[in-house]
Structure 1
Amino acid sequence: MAVTSSKTPLVPKKAEETQPDPFAHLPPYTDPTTGFLSWLPRSWIPYAQLMRLDRPAGLYAFYFPYLIGLMYAACIAPTAPKPLELLQLAAIYLPMNILLRGAACSWNDTVDQEFDRQVERCRHRPVARGAVSTTAAHIFTASLVAAIYPILTLFPEGCKLHMAISVVLFFIYALMKRVTYYPQVFLGFPFAWAIFFCAATLDVDPFGIYALPTSALFAANILWTIIYDTIYAHQDVKDDEKAGVKSMALRFRNNTKLLSATLAVAMVALLTLCGVWTGSGAPYYVGTVGGVAAAMTWYIYSVDLGNPQSCGAWFHDQFWIVGGALMAGFAAEYFCRVTDATVWQN
């Protein structure tokens, strides 16, 4: 795999093709001197950055839907799985999602390298700065996708199809910002597909008798993604506009909070329907429905869309408050189910 030094400048283009560097006044890239990446060999650093190993917040976007889907599936599975089984599955989901996220980010950085060079926050990404060649990045992406397969052999056969669909959807999403102001909608689908994967993990047919509640939870996850990624994209609206990158943050730049609040109401309504169609009890409505309503209200009201630091910080924090609420009701329902089954057995 061909690797260039992380400090090696890009190969100059022909004079007529050379574009002025819009960030020439800013400090140049230097390798990290603290944190996890500083311990790696220099040649490994660009590939760790392609996988975003130094930025765990993005991993939550991949991992939380799997945890939520797992708890949901545990509530509707024909036989309630034991807590240890759920913990084991959650543990297996983690490295799988690290690889999946790495492949998605590596692909995204490769196809977006020309855009990234025009966006201040993204200009030092490995492909954009010339630390990894386009060919090497493609090979690395393919290697990460291939590395997911051995993990998939631990799950039922149907999970392979759901993972394949997720990968394809992530790869399509990376191209959407060129053709539509709604790439966040497309991003929501591969993240929400985790619900189907987790149902299949516990041998629940997501399109069978639980098709309606599963679809409601799937749609709620799509809306969640649209909300947080649109808010997150406000970090780059000025640079994105100059670079020609489309996003819902640009399309709704003056009405993002109204849009987010509307989508949050729809999200809560879908979660309510999910509970009705699964016959969930009070713990679900208090934990998930009420919890998400409160968390979304806090998130949307508190974030400062004009402050990139606020958008970035809330991107991290909202996974714990919104994602935690989503899981809380399902977890409570699951433990009620397990407890009831234990009482009856005794």
Structure 2
Amino acid sequence: MASFPRTLRLTTCLPRQSGLGYTSIQLQAARTKWKASSSLPRADISIPPRLRTATTTQRRWAATDNRTQITPPSSNPDEIPPATYSPPTTGVISRLPPSWIAYAELIRLDKPAGTYYLFLPCLFSTLLAASLATPITSPLTVLSTGALFFAGALVMRGAGCTINDLWDRNLDPHVERTRLRPIARGAITVNRAIPFLGLQLFTGLAILLQFPSQCFFYATPSLVLVTLYPLAKRITTYPQFVLGLTFSWGAIMGFPALGIDLLTNTSALASAACLYGSCVAWTLIYDMIYAYQDIRDDAKVGILSIARTHEANAKQFLAAVSAVQVGLLAGAGYFAEAGMVYYFLACGGAGATLDHMIREVKLDDVADCASWFRRGAWATGGVISGGMFLDCLANYFGVYGPKKNVAAEGDVVAVE
């Protein structure tokens, strides 16, 4: 009996090991050519059962107007099951014009937790630096500076997602959580994603130029980390550390944003360094929990992660890193001359929320990991911000007593 000719398989077919099969158009073209060129009776033309099943299913998918085929079925139980994409019907992006939806999904506009995690270190540093500024920064200035940082976080997080998806465009289709991303499913081509990335970066630059000029020089090195983070998943078992270095950069930016030169004020530099380290540790915690959503798929496609590295002692590792985070947060307050409100609410609250999260999270439950990742932003991040803001108000209104305003290291210019 004749077999399906290998020479008729079109070059666009995806590899067998990926679990993806042949399209109905390719199969129909192959049948037509084979029938025309073969002298065998029609009954002798054989198509493997797997291909017949795939063809039938693909025709059924094609009949659905608003769905995009992602993967045909596979007889291998280890492969990712078939998936289809349907446009969102709820949420912010469902109200956008249809041509904008893929770009909104690319920058994760419907998943704001990442924006919050990028913004919060900026807010921490702004609140911590407010009491070190000369004169002490007013609460209104702190809020307006924070709003500007939020706009920058929204844009730059989107740019980071675009860069990540460009790097991972050949990996995302094989991971269940990411296979419906716009570039992975073909809704946005590389040739369109790159100009869109350029637009995002120029928008981020426009926001950055609204800050004092020295902020430009402090912010520029972070672009290298934004670009290289997706590569870290291929070369190190601790890519979350690289992500922490990237997402925590805002822990430095609040000081120059309020006019504090870190190169001449050693107390501010020490405070910023401790805060930066604390935020890096926090990133390891929440992104390790996030990584547990993909731990099985990561193992299949060779993506490295801290979740895979510490799978045997995950919660012990998370607890140890939490202790480091809270300790460095306390160090940041010490060098910034923070008051008791800071230590009790910001540091104590951070320790309590982290302990609760680590105890309660079910690392073998994808939905639970995703839920705690989202809640962690404003559970831990919110209590730190609240403690810092109240401490900032206490300093501003003199609750802790007269405070010295220092223009340069050791140079006292005023006493309130």
Moved over 6 A (4+): 341-346
Partner of 1:14: 12
SS in 2 for 1:255: helix
Unmatched 5+ stretches in structure 2 = 1-9, 21-70, 74-80, 403-414
Root-mean-square deviation (CA, aligned residues, Å) is 2.0
Which structure carries more relative contact order (alpha carbon 8 Å, separation 6+)? 1
Q: CA deviation at 1:13?
A: 5.0
- Give the structure with the higher percent helix: 1
Give the Cα separation in 1 of the matches to 2:72 and 2:283: 30
What residue identity is the alignment partner of 2:275? L
1:324 matched to 2:382: yes
1:248 matched to 2:247: no
Whether contact under 8 Å (2:129, 2:336) holds in the other structure is: no
What residue identity is the alignment partner of 2:12? K
Q: 1:217-236 to 2 correspondence within 5 Å? A: 217-236=275-294
Whether contact under 8 Å (1:170, 1:190) holds in the other structure is: yes
Partner of 2:318: 260
1:189 matched to 2:188: no
What residue identity is the alignment partner of 1:26? P
SS in 1 for 2:303: coil
Partner of 1:293: 351
Whether contact under 8 Å (1:227, 1:263) holds in the other structure is: yes
SS in 2 for 1:172: helix
1:180 matched to 2:232: no
Q: CA deviation at 1:144?
A: 0.2
Whether contact under 8 Å (2:291, 2:305) holds in the other structure is: yes
TM-score (norm 1): 0.91
Unmatched 5+ stretches in structure 1 = 1-11
What residue identity is the alignment partner of 2:229? Y
Q: CA deviation at 1:296?
A: 0.8
**Bigger mean CA offset, 230-239 vs 25-34:** 25-34
Give the Cα separation in 1 of the matches to 2:308 and 2:230: 17
TM-score (norm 2): 0.77
Give the Cα separation in 2 of the matches to 1:286 and 1:303: 25
What residue identity is the alignment partner of 1:42? P
Give the Cα separation in 1 of the matches to 2:217 and 2:269: 18
Whether contact under 8 Å (1:162, 1:193) holds in the other structure is: no
Q: Deviations over 1:52-76 (max 9, x none)?
A: 1111111111111111111111122
Q: CA deviation at 1:163?
A: 2.5
**Bigger mean CA offset, 74-83 vs 244-253:** 74-83
Q: CA deviation at 1:265?
A: 0.8
Q: CA deviation at 1:232?
A: 0.8
SS in 1 for 2:235: coil
Structure 2 CA distance for partners of 1:123 and 1:13, relative to 1, 3 Å:
farther
1:65 matched to 2:121: yes
Give the Cα separation in 1 of the matches to 2:241 and 2:318: 13
Q: CA deviation at 1:341?
A: 8.6
**Bigger mean CA offset, 154-163 vs 47-56:** 154-163
Q: CA deviation at 1:275?
A: 2.4
Q: Deviations over 1:15-67 (max 9, x none)?
A: 47564237744331121122222222221111111111111111111111111
Whether contact under 8 Å (1:173, 1:186) holds in the other structure is: yes
Q: Deviations over 1:124-162 (max 9, x none)?
A: 000000011112111111210111122122111111123
Q: CA deviation at 1:167?
A: 2.2
**Bigger mean CA offset, 201-210 vs 102-111:** 201-210
SS in 1 for 2:135: coil
Q: Deviations over 1:93-114 (max 9, x none)?
A: 2221111011000110111011
Q: CA deviation at 1:342?
A: 12
Whether contact under 8 Å (1:63, 1:97) holds in the other structure is: yes
Give the Cα separation in 2 of the matches to 1:13 and 1:38: 37
Give the Cα separation in 1 of the matches to 2:178 and 2:301: 12
Number of residue-to-residue matches in the alignment: 335
Q: Which protein shows a greater Rg?
A: 2
